[in-house]
A and B are shown apart, each in its own frame.
Chain A
Amino acid sequence: MTGFVSFFRRLEGPQTVGRGRAFWSLFAVVLLVALAYPLFSDGYTVGNTVYFFVWVFIALSLCLIWGYGGSLSFGQTAFFGIGGYAYGVLTLNFGSAYGFTLVALVVAVAIAALFAVLLGYFMFFGRIAGVFLGIVTLAVTLMLERFMAQTAGPEWHIGSARLNGFNGMSAMPPLTIPWPGEPIVLSADIGLYYFVLGLLVVVYLALRILMNSSFGNVIVAIRENPERAEMLGYDIRKYQLITFVIGAALAGISGVLYTVWGQYITPSSMGMTAAALPLIWVAVGGRSDLTSTVVGTLVVLAAFQALTIYGSQYALVFMGVLLVLTVLIAPNGLVLGLMHWLGRLAVRFKQRAG
């Protein structure tokens, strides 16, 4: 029982902004709005919101590896692509009966994680760190993109799934939950919305608990001073590897959900632009906190899309300006800066009231 309580007490702690009744009330309100919103909206808009949610997982993976762990990885899109392609290959071969799409989701994420075990072992136990880690991960990402781009010929297939080069794979089945009578097909609007929202809430809360645990303490300690962390007896390579693998799994979830959502995946999802965009969302939001990462990613994505209506060149310029503003005004992230400011305001308000 005490173990149970102390487990959930980790929802709050030094590694996550937001605590106490005010924060969790706000959390509950936001969640209720998110739950009720599809009832007052149309399928297209809901589907579009799902698209935004899909990207939050890869943003969280960067938050974990870069924001908390201090290792800048350009490789998250590689795991995104591996997850997406793996889901496609699995479901195009085995179909969607008996809940197999859910199995495919799990297996695809596991494949992305397994790939991260191999790459991460090579990097961390080979003592590759800092800017070299960025270079290696970027090289792996671009290599995967190039490789997938040249798989247009009919000889490139896994089972009955053609890889299709630059055109990418398409027509994979949507997520399907087996149900007595009729299986529930999560089409890319309301059904998928609740599934992804549920997953997002679980992942967000689980990461809060993880980062405020003794494991999270070691992760931020390695970011602050790896030598000191090792001299306290921590096998830092092991901790870095585990963080990298968890991050890869999160990026893999994004990849699978993206593939599920649009029923296609192309090599450009692992390209240079795809690798850079999540870095911008996370930097602008505030990479060292889970909440600012989630909020920042959703806000920037929505703004980007709104601007794209007037032409995508404006949207890209906007992203650039946003990044420059962040670096100049709030190097730790605009949303995080705002959250800290609100926090200080609340404290002052409480002091005056009390």
Chain B
Amino acid sequence: MSLLELRELNKHFGGLHVTNAVNLSLEPGEIHCLIGPNGAGKSTLFRLILGEHHPGSGDILFAGENITALKSFARIHRGLSVKFQVPGVFKGLSVRQNLEIALQSRHRGAELEAEIGRLLTFLGLESEQAQMAGNLSHGQKQWLEIGMAISLKPRLLLLDEPTAGMSPEETHMTGEMVQRLNVGGMTVLAIEHDMAFVRQVAQRVTVLHLGQVFAQGSIQEIVADERVAAIYLGQAHA
């Protein structure tokens, strides 16, 4: 059974058909990358999956359950978690408190402290723990939000452009982290422009174009597809 299944999903913004009859299945345990030019509707698809937007028609199934009508927080409880395109950290709170807020519903007392410490080390943010999250560099904010997202121990992790603003080394480290989480059993759906990252982690790739699934396959198949090159890979992406 698929972990996530999107069935004939449609979404309009006024006259704009942003999500057009999208069908997509994620197998448990895969790393799946979603690519496509700017404005293709990738972030919107995430918001539909998370319940921030509601589809005009179609269904969203998670682990066999129809979650189309569930509130966002309830979907998180089912095992979804997200890092948004624009880092959504709590800017006016310390890095440590950001992590505490993410972890406190699962851990208490000394266990909570230990878990925060472990995550700070994992993210390389130990020396920044007392800083306001708003003062971090863009890359550090990305890391912090990824840390908050994975601290929920989700079954499916959604990453919207996780490496934006990161150096090539940091991008590579993020890829390794995603692979490590995947080995631990986490399914990952990542929107990414950085093809080096996609090559590094993707087991399957879906190309979204004008709100529609344009192509799907392994990274080799996608790179070899001339139609894809024409719409996406050929352009210097904006």
Contacts and interface: CB of A to CB of B under 8 A. Distances in A.
Interface of A: 2, 6, 14, 214, 217-218, 220-221, 223-225, 227-236
Given A214-B105, A227-B52, A232-B148, A221 B90 contact: yes
Interface string B133-158: 00000000000010010001000000
Contacts, number: 65
B182 interface: no
Contact of B90 (A2, A214, A228, A236): A228
Closest 7 CB pairs of A and B: A224-B90, A233-B76, A228-B88, A214-B104, A235-B73, A221-B101, A217-B101
A6 B111 CA distance: 13
A346 B73 CA distance: 43
Main secondary structure of the interface of A (DSSP, over half): helix
Interface string B82-98: 10100011111110010
A231 B82 contact: yes
A230 B81 CA distance: 10
Contact of B93 (A220, A231, A233): A220
A313 B67 CA distance: 60
A224 B76 contact: no
A232 B50 CA distance: 11
Interface of B: 50, 52, 71-74, 76-77, 81-82, 84, 88-94, 97, 100-102, 104-105, 109, 145, 148, 152
A236 B104 CA distance: 15
Given A217-B101, A230-B73, 5 more contacts: A14-B97, A221-B93, A224-B90, A230-B76, A231-B82
12 contacts: A6-B109, A220-B92, A223-B92, A224-B92, A225-B88, A228-B88, A230-B73, A231-B73, A231-B88, A232-B76, A232-B105, A235-B73
A232 B152 contact: yes
Given A14-B94, A217-B100, A218-B101, A233 B73 contact: yes
B97 to A, nearest CB: 5
Contacts of A236: 73
A218 to B, nearest CB: 7
Contacts of B71: 235
A224 B93 contact: yes
A233 B90 contact: no
